[in-house]
Amino acid sequence: MTFLDEVKTAVTPRAALLIAGVLGLQLLFIASYVGALHSPRPTDVKVAVVAPGQLAGQLAAELRQLPGEPLSPRTLPDEGTARHQMLNRDIDAALIIDAQGTTDTLLVASGQGSTETSVLVSVFDQIEQQQRRGLRLDDVAPASGHDAHGLSSFYLVVGWCVGGYLCAGALAISAGARPANRGRATIRLLVTAVYAIVGGLLGAVIAGPILSALPGSLFGLWGLGALTVFAVGAATLALQSVFGIVGIGVAILLIVIAGNPSAGGAVPIPLLPDFWRSIGPALPPGSATWVARSIAYFHGNAIAVRLIVLSAWAVGGTLLLLVMSSLRGRGGRGGRGERGGKAAGPDGESGEPPGTAPGTAHAPDGSDPGPSGA
């Protein structure tokens, strides 16, 4: 046998295609993370100005005309309203003008990420220096002392998302990517749900009571973790039911390559380029990171829309998986061979190649061949 024959035997056409797909994911990973995070700068950051009389409108107009349009200012009647809107996550900062003195106050919230806070302080400090005025900082929602950069919520969510798609991947590797019928699909969803409940709790306990990285409600974080893990897991199971084992790669594309850099974790959403800023809130990492920060630092405010997004991923993945598995069951691809010891693959072949132990066979496309595995 020649060397070329050995190569053809070792690297099948299917393997070559998978390697090409992995290379594509690698390049997309680099392009996505470097493209999103290499040069953060503010764009239309929501800020407020509180000042007496017409001064507030004049200052807001000046802020709106700054080069590059970094700020999207509004005027508010008083400091109390500004603090309320910050805690409700309607604005990211507020400048309180002291008409009787020479030092103004900038309300910030380091709990939403130190990067955004630093950028806003830099912008307003420069403005105040030009006016020969001083600037005092007031942190309305300070990050925990064990969460100095406000990143713990993001890393917690990343861990939950990784658990979700790895759980679905483990089910695919052990019993085939496409469940043979709706019953098998339901079992996988139940396994994923149990895993999500356990994984959500343990993640919340580690980030909360054990490491003291995140304050806020432990039960709130637990619920968020369970929903996040199940949403990602159900979506990955659904993608596997459509694309086979390649569905894991599609899930990584959506969750890791597109979702993580656009989540507002390492770089808050107002500092991201337009593309990532637009897709982040629609993907699980972005929605879950927003909710985790709200639970930890903003009294659980402004989370309804993001929870709806996560629920849509969970429900959508569940429905798609059940529909695809029902279609497979009606097509007669699962259910044969339970008594005969052999299950038919999707092309009508035996699910057990020579030398394979009964009950462990996979179809050629990685599908669940029949009743032998969940």
93-96 and 71-75: which strand pairing? unpaired
Q: Which residues have a Cβ under 8 Å from the Cβ of 221 and sit 6 or more positions away?
A: 156, 200, 203, 204, 207, 208, 214, 292, 295, 296
**Mean pLDDT rounded to a whole number for the chain:** 86
CA dihedral 54, 57, 61, 63 (to 10 degrees): 110
- pLDDT bin (cut points 50, 70, 90) of residue 157 is very high
Residue 179 is predicted with a pLDDT of 76
Rg (CA), the chain: 26
For residue 78, pLDDT beyond 50: yes
Name the most confidently modeled range: 9-13, 62-66, 293-297, 366-370. 293-297
- Which amino acid does the sequence have at 209? P
For residue 147, pLDDT beyond 70: yes
* CA dist., res. 270 & res. 277, Å (int): 7
Reduced DSSP (H G I as helix, E B as strand, rest coil) percent helix, strand, coil of the chain, to 5: 60, 10, 35
Task: Taking residues 244-267, report their average pLDDT.
Answer: 93
Q: How many helices (H) and strands (E) does the chain have?
A: 12, 5
Where is pLDDT greater, at 367 or 212?
212
- pLDDT bin (cut points 50, 70, 90) of residue 72 is very high
Sheet holding 71-75, edge to edge: 71-75, 45-50, 93-96, 103-108, 134-139
Helices (H), 54-151: 55-64, 79-87, 114-130
- Which amino acid does the sequence have at 229? V
Where is pLDDT greater, at 9 or 207?
207
DSSP 3-state of 359:
coil
For residue 357, pLDDT beyond 70: no
What is the pTM for the complete model shown?
A: 0.85
For residue 57, pLDDT beyond 70: yes
